[in-house]
Amino acid sequence: MDNQAPLAPRFEGAVAIVTGAGSGIGRATALRLAAESARVACLDLDGAAARATAHAIAAAGGTAWAAACDIRDEDQVRDAFAAAEHALDGPLAVLCANAGIGGPVMPVPEIDAAAWDAVVAVNLSAQFLCAKHAIPSMRRGGGGAIVFTASHVAFAAVPRWTAYAATKGGVVMLAKGLAVDHAPDGIRVNCVCPGPVATALLQEGDAQRDAEQAGRRAEDRGRLGQPEEIAAVIAFLAAPEAALVTGATLVADGGAGARMGVSWPSSHYWD
């Protein structure tokens, strides 16, 4: 909604929850859904950032509600989802489960078990918790759509990103399983798998390399995706015209995965 042309009201009156809505892809997704007339609950570990996104939506004429939520904590997830339903006056129709962390960028023998557990807790277990507490609300409303944000590294092993890639691969299969289990409920579940996107998460990963390596990687990966471009893909997967799309994984990486083994060998692209 930041200087965005008016969009069709594909989500007129629908209640949507976006996790990680305080920044990056989550913020862009919350703004996009609101621009298409959804009533959006903005959840983020950083409550002030979530409220800033909700204020931006309201300033543009949309409807939003915000709360701090640690999605690793089931009680917080349950309470936040129930509060969002109450505040936005309706059962949940859309869940965009976007919140995630990068985790340790190093070979597995060097990863502390606590660091492994931390990335699994946010990137995989918390996604299960969000789906667990979204589905009953969607059932009450007669159906809905869940879109998980995974990554293209779920499909191509890259040096030192094993922890992150393993969790994102898990999210892909979580979406497929949920899609099969809840098709009778009228609930569609899909995954978007971005490539490199200009977000704080990417900057965090680059910060774990020395300046020369980070600069070289930035040159080789080509144009970075923008959060708004991924938000557009998420909005499509959540929208009614994607009614036949469920259990699907849509890779939005600018062709990086198609080229990785030829033009962007892992020893150069990812190191």
Active site residues: 164
3-class SS string, 172-195? HHHHHHHHHHHHHHCEEEEEEEEC
CA-based torsion, 26, 229, 103, 203: positive or negative: negative
Are 17 and 85 a contacting pair, CB within 8 Å?
no
What's the token pair of residue 67? 């709360």
Contact (Cβ atoms closer than 8 angstroms) between residue 191 and residue 175: yes
* Helix, strand counts (H, E) of the chain: 11, 7
Q: How many CA atoms lie within 13 A of 2 on its CB side?
A: 12
Q: In this structure, are residues 4 and 84 in contact, taking their beta carbons and an 8 Å threshold? A: no
Q: Is 81 exposed, middle or buried (0-12, 13-18, 19+ CB in 10 A)?
A: buried
